[in-house]
Amino acid sequence: MKRTLRRARDGSFQLRLTDDERDLVANLASQLRELLVSEEPDGVERLYPPAYANDPERDSEYRAMVHDELLEKRLASVDIVERTAAAKSLTEEEVTAWMGAINDLRLVLGTRLDVSEDQDPIPLDDPRAPAFAVYQYLTHLLAEIVYALSRD
């Protein structure tokens, strides 16, 4: 089986994506950036879950303390994905950034699609089918990243 991402002998990671896949990832990263910096919380709630679900005051304090740092890290990961989408080789730091951004994209898209573990397959004629296909692709790509990082 040909892996999407493979660690090379020199410690770098060889990224094997088609041009269409690279364009998709770069486009999705750009959309994630727009969503992260927008004032609209629609779709990002899974990225910032409550720390104190039963204590709104403590949760508000927690959010005030960590939100900007989390946002900064997410935007840095998006920067790296956008900058390296066309690259054939990535460093471990870049692959880790890809992992974070791809996971964030999955969370946002999964929330919007209301994905659940016990969900029936989506028929191809369902208007949401293309979005589910992207979600499945992101799931595959994330699994490839995790696999590659776990190998020596």
pLDDT digits (tens, 9 = 90+) for 91-127: 999 999 999 999 999 999 999 998 888 888 888 898 9
Q: How confident is the model at residue 140 (pLDDT cuts 50, 70, 90)?
A: very high
Classify 119 in phi/psi space as left (phi over 0), alpha (psi -120 to 50) or beta. Answer: beta
Q: Tell me: the pLDDT tens digits for 25-50?
A: 999 999 999 999 987 767 787 888 88
Q: pTM, whole model, 2 decimals? A: 0.89
DSSP string covering 12-47: -EEE---HHHHHHHHHHHHHHHHHHHSS--TTTGGG
Look at residue 40 in the predicted model and tell me its pLDDT.
Answer: 75
Tell me what pLDDT residue 152 has.
67
